[in-house]
Structures are given as structure tokens and as C-alpha cells.
């Protein structure tokens, strides 16, 4: 069985080592370079979602478009909040958030797809939400106890992505 807690002297000595690593201590159990890479992929995914939802909110037209466009815009703002959380976490881990628009699509898990009909817009957003749900579920399982702070952040984001998927399904059901 592993020791529950280091002695106080060891804790203090270890805290004084590598001060520039900030919150990353010997207790950090994840592969930090890979975590930063995965978080930058997640950041790109969220930014692609922001742009797709915004484009759809402005391009929506026809019957029921006002309510659907409002839903798209609300989701865009929530995705922006996710991007900000992820970028902040990357910084906390000593990394640099990658906002380079030239590489978004190659790093993002979801795609930027436009559509002409409300139904197609809803479907594209639902597909993207389903990708995010699968992706975040895998990342959360992979992190395990290695980085509980990042895992909890992603669990909160995952819950919102699941709500978004349900919203898109409800919008599709309204279109029947």
C-alpha cells in the first residue's frame, strides 16, 4: 500500500524545488507534454464550434429560424467559455494556448461545416457535439487520477456538450 502522506519536512523540501513549475509538483501524474497537446486540440475544437455556431446563427433563415438562431448563438457563447477555460488551464500547466487560426482545422476534433437549411445546420452541430462528447469522454478516462483538475474541468465541459446535443436533437424533433 502506498504511503498516504509524505512527512512535513519532505513536503516542504519538495515545494521549494522547481518553483518555476508552479502547480506542477512531483505528485502530478499525467504526461504533461501530451496533456498540453490534447488540451490545445480541445481548444481548437471549441474555437471551431464557436465559429460554426456563430455562422449558423447568422445564416439561419426561414420559418422558426429566429428561435433556432438564438439557440445557435447561445451555444456559441458557451463554447467560447469552454475555450477560455481550456486556454486558462493550458497556461496553468505552463503551456501556451495555441490560437493560431491557420491550424485550427488540423488540430480540432470536429469540422467546420456550413449548411444552407436549418435542418442541415442542426445536424452538423449535433455531429460536432457527438464528436466532442466522445472525445472528452476518452480524454477524461485517459487522464484518470493523473490530473484531477483538468479532468474535472473537462467533466464540466462534457456535461454542457451533452446538453447541447440534447438541444440539437430536440430541434430536429421540432422539424418533423
- pLDDT of 4: 63
- pLDDT tens across 20-49, in order? 777 887 788 999 999 999 999 999 999 999
Instruction: Report the distance separating Cα 78 and Cα 161, nearest Å.
Output: 9
Q: Is 65 exposed, middle or buried (0-12, 13-18, 19+ CB in 10 A)?
A: middle
Distance CA 130, CA 47 (A): 16
**Per-residue cell: 160:** 454542457
Is the CB of residue 79 less than 8 Å from the CB of residue 116? no
44 Cβ partners below 8 Å, 6+ apart? 98, 103, 104, 105, 107, 108
Residues whose CB falls within 8 Å of the CB of residue 99, separated by 6 or more in sequence, listed in order: 43, 47, 87
What is this structure's pTM? 0.91
The helix (H) or strand (E) run that includes residue 52 is helix 32-59
- The pLDDT tens digits for 120-152 are 999 999 999 999 999 999 999 999 999 999 999
As a whole number, the mean pLDDT across the chain is 92
All structural domains of the chain, each given as residue ranges with its CATH number in brackets, are: 30-174 (1.20.1260.10)
Longest dimension (CA), the chain: 69
So what's the pLDDT on residue 176?
58
Q: Integer distance in angstroms from the first to the last C-alpha of the chain?
A: 58
Task: Report percent pLDDT > 90 for the chain.
Answer: 78
Amino acid at each position: 500500500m502506498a504511503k498516504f502522506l509524505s512527512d512535513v519536512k519532505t513536503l516542504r523540501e519538495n515545494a521549494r524545488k522547481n518553483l518555476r513549475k508552479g502547480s506542477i509538483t512531483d505528485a502530478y501524474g499525467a504526461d504533461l507534454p501530451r496533456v498540453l497537446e490534447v488540451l490545445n486540440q480541445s481548444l481548437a475544437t471549441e474555437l471551431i464550434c464557436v465559429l460554426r455556431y456563430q455562422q449558423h446563427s447568422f445564416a439561419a433563415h426561414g420559418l422558426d429560424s429566429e428561435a433556432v438562431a438564438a439557440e445557435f448563438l447561445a451555444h456559441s457563447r458557451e463554447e467560447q467559455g469552454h475555450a477560455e477555460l481550456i486556454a486558462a488551464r493550458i497556461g496553468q500547466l505552463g503551456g501556451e494556448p495555441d490560437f493560431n487560426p491557420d491550424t485550427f482545422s488540423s488540430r480540432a476534433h470536429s469540422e467546420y461545416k456550413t449548411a444552407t437549411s436549418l435542418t442541415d445546420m442542426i445536424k452538423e452541430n449535433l455531429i460536432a457535439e457527438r464528436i466532442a462528447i466522445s472525445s472528452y469522454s476518452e480524454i477524461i478516462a485517459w487522464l484518470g487520477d493523473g490530473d484531477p483538475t483538468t479532468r474535472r474541468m473537462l467533466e464540466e465541459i462534457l456535461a454542457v456538450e451533452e446538453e447541447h446535443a440534447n438541444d440539437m436533437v430536440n430541434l430536429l424533433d421540432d422539424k418533423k
